[in-house]
A = this chain, B = another copy of it.
Amino acid sequence: MKIEVLKNVMEVNDTLADDIRKSTKKSKTLVLNMMSSPGSGKTMILEKILPKLLLNGVKTGIVEGDISTTNDAERIIGNEIHVVQINTEKFGGDCHLGSEVIKPALEQLHYDKMNLVIIENVGNLVCPAEFDTGADKNMVVISVTEGEDKPQKYPLMFRECSLAIINKIDLLPHLEFDIEKLETNIRQINPGMEIIRLSARTNENIEKLLSWVMNNLKK
């Protein structure tokens, strides 16, 4: 009985996610789903890249997912950026965003008038990878303070993503961290993964992420 019910929940989620992709294909809106552990720096990456996207004329909307608080949305809002905050606490403290909460959020953002929507998922390296949000591409952020073995320990996350952003590289001189080993580990789980090393704090390589996003916009 339990399995039956869970299967139904996943089916409903996947069907709705496909519907979202059909709609955003029509409106030529690129939807990116950004996932990571808590504190990997997703919000700061957005803070750094959003002004550059604006300068490039990319109309961008943000969906902020958190169990509680509007802290991240408050950091992002302004500069002609439209933000919708989803607090999953109202839905029982959900540990991920499903397509059933993404769909109304996209509508509230008027996604059909946007070139780009970035979903900042709930900080969690496990569950968000299990739920299709309807995004075109998934990205995972991992910071160099987190250890090199995370791809092997959280394989589904690294399988589901097409871009890995390695953040906080400014801290490398102060850590015993082997970034080459992390990249080898990522590619062992997902050989086709694109990887960008950057520091949101110092802006190093933020331009590389910008290029990646620009190249993926729908024409």
Contacts and interface: CB of A to CB of B under 8 A. Distances in A.
A68 B156 CA distance: 10
B68 A150 contact: no
Contact of A38 (B122, B154, B176): B154
Contacts of A53: none
A120 B125 CA distance: 16
Contacts of A155: 67-68
Contacts of A176: 201
Q: Give the interface size bracket for A toward B.
A: 35 or more
A55 interface: no
A37 B153 CA distance: 13
Nearest to A129: B93
Contacts of A68: 152-155
A191 to B, nearest CB: 18
Contacts of A66: 153
A125 B93 contact: no
A145 B123 contact: no
Interface of A: 1-2, 5, 9, 37-39, 66-69, 71, 93, 95, 122-127, 130, 143, 145-147, 149-150, 152-156, 168, 171, 174-176, 201
